[in-house]
Amino acid sequence: MKRLSLLCQFLSRGKVARGVDVGYDNFFRVKSLSVNGANPVSFGYDDDGLLVQAGDLTLARDSLNGRLTGTTLGNVSDSWTYNGFGEAQNYSASAGNVALYSVNFTRDNAGRITTKTETIGGVTSIYSYTYDPARGWQWQRSEPVHLRWQSKRAGIHGKKWYRISPDHRPTR
């Protein structure tokens, strides 16, 4: 009979030696992690065994079904809301009182997303989706033209910006 054991320490050798220590609770869930014995991260679970704490990150869950409703790390937080079928309806992220990102989904009777309204840094974009059984998903972007950052490697002349037109399509 083979004896099974849990990984408690992992060591790597080479130019940079590393060691990862893993601690477990009585239910064999990871209780703590540390790299090279420094800065241990502890993990916490609710009565249903769902993760609710990972270091300084706090995870909030719906008490009825355990679904994730939000997280908090310092002054950065996010939140999820769901419709009656358990499908994501809204998501938002903020740092303190500053809204960083939000998205809202509307769905058809089959649960397919028909509209996505997304706000990033105060700029709102609306995406409309339709489904044609013969051609599959079709989408249309219906917001004004915005300036977007192209790349950090834009050349020696510094930052370059480019326009995204309302009829811009993704490549497959």
Evaluate if pTM is beyond 0.85: no
Average pLDDT over residues 146-152: 40
Write down the pLDDT at residue 42.
96
Residue (of 29, 80, 40) closest to 59 by Cα position: 80
How would you class 54 by CB atoms within 10 Å of its CB: exposed for 0-12, middle for 13-18, buried for 19 or more?
A: middle
Residue (of 84, 82, 56) closest to 67 by Cα position: 82
Write down the pLDDT at residue 3.
54
With bands split at pLDDT 50, 70 and 90, how would you rate the model's confidence at 162? Answer: very low
Percent of the chain exceeding pLDDT 90 equals: 45
With bands split at pLDDT 50, 70 and 90, how would you rate the model's confidence at 30? Answer: very high
- 27's CB contacts (< 8 A; 6+ apart) are 45, 49
